[in-house]
Amino acid sequence: MTRSPLLLGLDAGGSGTKWVLVRGGVTVASGMTPPLTAALLATEVGAANLAALAAALPGHPDALHAGMPGLSTNSARAAEVKVLLATALNMSPERVGVEGDLDLAYRAHLRPGAGILVYAGTGSIAYHVAENGAVVRAGGRGFLLGDEGGGFSIGRAALRLLTDALDSGRVPDTVLARELAAITGGLDWHSLRAFAYAAPGASAIARLAPAVGRAADGGDADALAILDASAAALAELARRVRARVGTLPVTVTGGALRVSPLFSALLTRALPGAVVQQRNHAEAAARTAAVLAGE
């Protein structure tokens, strides 16, 4: 009896890479490894993170499909990423598929033309794929230019509260401050600076978003205000896309929404009718890998 191929699905991102191994339609293993993005793969850190992914897998995949930030399907960079993934995992490039993380996320939740996806992970974006494949988007400009409502901006807002307090000669003693200190190692400027600038990109500061969520759950007014402002920012992205494509239903997803149930509640208040929905994008990628394996 022929054994079903082992399929690897990757949902890569700036805060981490979710992976699943699927055989015969059943998930047999899953995990999280360090961040992978198209830009990061060109660096020594990206190469090390790719090696960490290869080491984490308990089996050798027969085919893989990945959704990754910074990619356009069928672009020259996408072809380069396919080769990098294939080399790291000792696979034929013909058994590797790649696409942008937002294209993967949209397919996991919506069929083309059916709605607007608001994604809040490390960054944020509102995304619509028309029936003819045309994309309309708002946001998604990266942490240097925006990404309000995503994990990075939530963490940055919390850090700004701390540094504003330090500038005023105060060391805050609040639920939020204590949650942040447990991650940064301290509330003095030396500790905050070392934490914020220890690694390039947005991933370190995005790690603070769950602390903001826990503080909001604990009744911290500042943390709740950060989540409220973030919800308003995500709602605005959806309205910008609606202004261009019509009043389509909105689905909201992404890891930032998991920091607190209050975040989802604030978002649906800011954008009535929106549905918060979490689906496993790595599993959706693995289903796509089945085509590459000839299933």
The DSSP bridge partners found for residue 10 are 19, 66
Provide the residue type at 73 as one letter.
T
Residue spans of alpha helices (H) in 10-57: 44-56
52-90: per-residue pLDDT in tens? 999 999 989 999 999 998 888 888 999 999 999 999 999
Q: Is the pLDDT of residue 1 over 60?
A: no
pLDDT reported for residue 200: 65
Distance CA 43, CA 162 (A): 32
**6-104+281-292 and 110-259 in the same fold:** yes
To the nearest whole percent, how much of the chain has pLDDT over 70?
A: 98
- pLDDT single digits (tens) 85-128: 999 999 999 999 999 999 999 999 999 999 999 999 989 999 99
DSSP class per residue in 101-112 = HHHHHHHHH--T
pLDDT band at 143 (very low <50, low <70, confident <90, very high): confident
The CA distance from 29 to 7, in Å, is 11
Tokens 């996320």, residue located: 105
Domains of the chain, by residue range, sit at 6-104+281-292, 110-259
DSSP 134: -
**How long, in residues, is the chain?**
295
Structure tokens at 35: 């961040």
Find where tokens 């239903």 sit.
249
Q: Give dist(CA 293, CA 99) in Å, integer.
A: 17
- Residue-wise pLDDT tens digits, 28-41: 999 999 989 888 88
The alpha helices in 89-220, defined as continuous H runs, are 101-109, 151-167, 175-184, 189-196, 203-206, 209-217
Per-residue pLDDT at 2: 66
Q: Rounded CA gap, 108 and 232, in Å?
A: 25
Q: Is the pLDDT of residue 265 over 70?
A: yes
Q: Which residues contact 7 (CB under 8 A, 6 or more apart)?
A: 21, 22, 23, 61, 62, 63, 64, 65, 286, 287, 289, 290, 293
Q: Name the CATH superfamily for 110-259.
A: ATPase, nucleotide binding domain (3.30.420.40)
| Topology classification of domain 6-104+281-292 | Nucleotidyltransferase; domain 5 (3.30.420)
> Does position 201 have pLDDT exceeding 80, yes or no?
no
Residue-level pLDDT at 279: 92
Mean of all residue pLDDT scores within the chain: 93
Residue 204 confidence (pLDDT) above 90 = no
pTM: 0.87
